[in-house]
Amino acid sequence: MDLFAVFKELQQKSDTKILLVVLDGVGGLPLEPGGPTELEAARTPNLDRLAGESALGLLTLVYPGLTPGSGPGHLALFGYDPFRYLVGRGALSALGLGVDFRDGDVALRGNFATLGPDGQVLDRRAGRPSTEENRRVVAKLQEAIPRIEDVAVYFYTESEHRFLVVLRGEGLGDGVTDTDPQKTGLPPLEAKALDEASRKTARVVNLLSARIREVLRDEPKINGALFRGASRRPSFPSMAEVYGVRAAAIASYPMYKGLASLVGMEVLPVEGEGDAHEGKLKVLRENWEGYDFFYLHFKKTDAKGEDGDFPGKVAEIERFDALLPEILALKPDVLAITGDHSTPALLRAHSWHPVPLLLKAPYLRRDAAQRFTESEATKGSLGHLRGMELMPLLLAHAGKLLKYGA
């Protein structure tokens, strides 16, 4: 149900500040029955102390049993119905990178991959190459493949194994299936058109995949590409229009910058490679007076989960915990800490499991939860919410919503 018309009528100005912290893929599972999840295994004295002063609950980001991608998960957190406001991964990367992305173009998110002699996928991320190595390969592809048929092809580095392709030409639709099989031991999939308007795009993507394999055949690890999220440029109502807030985003990875810009947030530049924790906190401090809503994103919890690295994900949670006092020193009026989906190291992938939610705000009811973990969150007074229900809670606690009805 789209409540944007209601929020527009009820929006109210206040001097309060909301901070939404997203620990990407933070939810997890025990490696052994009865064992701890990554959050439960982590030593988090600062989060534990904060949990004792806050309200906790669980969030199902999209719908029970549905495993959310990062796009739907984040849009739900921002209060946008992920079944109505649809956007492909390619468009998000293009918007986040700030590349030339025009009406009629089709963008595709790519993974550099390692393919075996039989054409099967050995590694969907080609060993996570450095971003500098990515740039070298992208330059090689751009020189070798400027066009496919009458369609101009533009390659862009995103980070590590991730890259972007923008297709520009006449008659391109974005109803195209992914070529990423999402697991190893299978060959890349054939792109198929989902509608008549996208037949040309599917053909071009398949020709492009074959041409990339040919150009990269002598590379030791990066010798193939997997595509997903073919999409045109979408247009969404802004958070300023819907909620009346001036919103800022602090993130390192292009996809999350793209999500933020799509809903009208100002994306603040962050110095440093990778997750750049210190750079993000510096930007947050320096811009604290200029906005009343902040989205602060941390990626590596998700990356370690996708790698199946349980200890690594635990370490990233502990790394965030060590930074928490600096965040709390800013004294946000409303602070929420949660994830956009679960990424259990056990599964090496996103999952459908709810994520814990911590809310520190005025007018909370005390609850029994004492740690920011999945099991403790079940004891919380917030109960079990859908992702879209978070934003109204944040606005209400910040005094940014009027009463509804007489």
Share the mean pLDDT of the chain.
Answer: 95
pLDDT bracket for residue 141 (50, 70, 90): very high
**Cα distance between residue 321 and residue 316, in whole Å:** 9
Domains of the chain (ranges plus CATH)? 4-85+236-397 (3.40.720.10), 92-231 (no CATH)
Strands (E), 69-189: 106-115, 121-123, 147-148, 151-159, 162-168
In this prediction, residue 324 carries a pLDDT of: 97
Asked whether the predicted pLDDT for residue 181 surpasses 70, the reply is: yes
Mean pLDDT of 192-217: 97
In this prediction, residue 333 carries a pLDDT of: 98
Q: What is the pLDDT of residues 365-394, one digit of tens each?
A: 889 999 999 999 999 999 999 999 999 999
CA 281 from chain center: how many Å? 19
In this prediction, residue 87 carries a pLDDT of: 86
Asked whether the predicted pLDDT for residue 251 surpasses 90, the reply is: yes
Asked whether the predicted pLDDT for residue 274 surpasses 70, the reply is: no
| DSSP per-residue string spanning 233-274 | ------HHHHH---EEEE-SSHHHHHHHHHTTPEEPP--SST
**Cα distance between residue 164 and residue 101, in whole Å:** 11
Antiparallel, parallel or unpaired: β 106-115 and 383-386: unpaired
In this prediction, residue 2 carries a pLDDT of: 76
Tell me the whole-structure pTM to 2 decimals.
0.82
